Structure 1
């Protein structure tokens, strides 16, 4: 059942809760909505009350421009309120950055797991990150969400396969492509904000895949160096699109 929680600026955040036990909020990354966690939720639900939500502007959530990372932190804090006032959080990719930033700001997170926050990606574009974000925004403003997706994927160092456009999941990507500038704003220039993360005072786990590019392990190491007491775990054979059955046992062990 879809529920809604109102954020500080009036944005309605759509979420679903499944299972019983301590609250665990899953935070998706770029081009994700709450449905992206559909295969992970059943693996966690026997142990936790799992909250999967649409970040602002996605799925059944509303939006309230202009965007800022602070508003997304308010969204997560409001959702934690719906979860009872305290929650575990698991963030993937830019969702991991959001979880870390929220924890650094004092959001009532009791434990935090972060999978491959996209820091230190090693990209050396010929333009600043602000200029690239603005180029993606221009594609969105022109109504060409497909071009925005292509720009984003190529920027990550991956090849763009035109065959993607004929896949059954392509419309879902188009449906959230207008939020890509949000993720780029959240990630900023890709450097780890060590000073802010030094204020995080809670059990934290950084996870990365053994088959991921080298930046993933470097990013987790850099975040762990900033967050006091943060542990690290490498999932052999996994990449940025980590398999639910691979990460679920790690999350269950850590949060339990």
Structure 2
């Protein structure tokens, strides 16, 4: 499969912030909204797999790459306005969202008439958002004093991403390991690549999204869009129950659980998908493509 030929564009959100995106392919438009610790380029393999039948838009969410900065009053509503700007520029009625991006796409489908079909990979909707507000305070303090590695450790536990063996390790050792990992990535990164250290401050917004939408399952009973709900058997444990709840309340929902896939499986190998394989990305993309071709 040939590498995607990406062109760049911008859309203007409601508050005047520029939201940049990459674009590839031909056919009806699909907007792909990335997740936490990612940027627009995190789903180029996914875009390639759709590009023969769809025009794929890969926006950078705020605070990343081609897009403008977060504002102090940033909320889920801001994220929806940013997505709406790209949907309008693309003329898109379809969107695919991952993790926190999936939560935004789902809330957008509830509030925007534009979206007719959405696919979600492990959307970050949890039963209770309150615990996320608690760890965000410590995270913000660590970022403010330049302790990016410490903040990353705090968010890892806050998002319940830590495997069992890490939970018994001293926090100082985890911080040291995280710093080494970020430094190694920076040494090996291509010119212009968006690194984990650069992305780390954006985790604050991801936490606020999860907190704001936590426990809102019943709100999604009014979603009229067709929904493809995806996840993996090795995904984040805290998000599995949420998918089960969403399956019950969404009026037009089909659910697929991939055996052995984890939270980052739809993303390009590297970053949040360190054990990723192109064939895994393509399998997820094949299900999404088939779903979007139904209408």
Secondary structure of the corresponding residue to residue 116 of structure 2: strand
Alignment of 1:34-45 (within 5 A): 34-45=40-51
Task: Name stretches of at least 5 consecutive residues in structure 1 with no aligned partner.
Answer: none
Match of 1:63 among 33, 53, 69: 69
Tell me the residue number matched to 2:196: 173
Bigger radius of gyration: 2
Q: Are positions 1:248 and 2:254 aligned together?
A: no
Indicate whether 1:9 and 2:46 are aligned. Answer: no
For residue 77 of structure 1, the aligned residue among 78, 84, 89 is: 84
Residue in 2 that maps onto 1:128: 131
Distance, in Å, in 2 between the alignment partners of 1:102 and 1:38 is 23
For residues 192 and 116 of structure 1, what CA distance do their matches in structure 2 show?
Answer: 16
For 1:133 and 1:146, the matched residues in 2 are separated by 15
Question: Please, what TM-score do these two structures have when normalized by structure 1?
Answer: 0.90
Q: Deviations over 1:23-74 (max 9, x none)?
A: 1111111111001112211111112100111001111211241211111100
Decide which moves more: 102-111 or 43-52. 102-111
Q: Which residue of 2 aligns with 1:230?
A: 253
Specify every segment of 5 or more residues in structure 2 that has no aligned partner in the other structure, as ranges.
1-6, 167-173, 266-279
The residue number in structure 1 matching 2:272 is none
**What TM-score do you get using the length of structure 2 for normalisation?**
0.79
Deviates more, 1:75-84 or 1:188-197: 188-197
Q: How does 1:1-256 map to 2 (within 5 A)?
A: 1-66=7-72, 67-84=74-91, 86-120=92-126, 128-155=131-158, 156-158=160-162, 159=166, 160=174, 161-162=177-178, 163-165=180-182, 166-167=184-185, 168=188, 172-188=195-211, 191-242=214-265, 243-256=280-293
Q: Is the 8 A contact 1:10 1:64 kept in 2?
A: no
CA distance in 2, matches of 1:122, 1:56: 25
Whole-angstrom CA distance in 2 between matches of 1:40 and 1:62:
24
Aligned-pair Cα RMSD in Å: 2.3
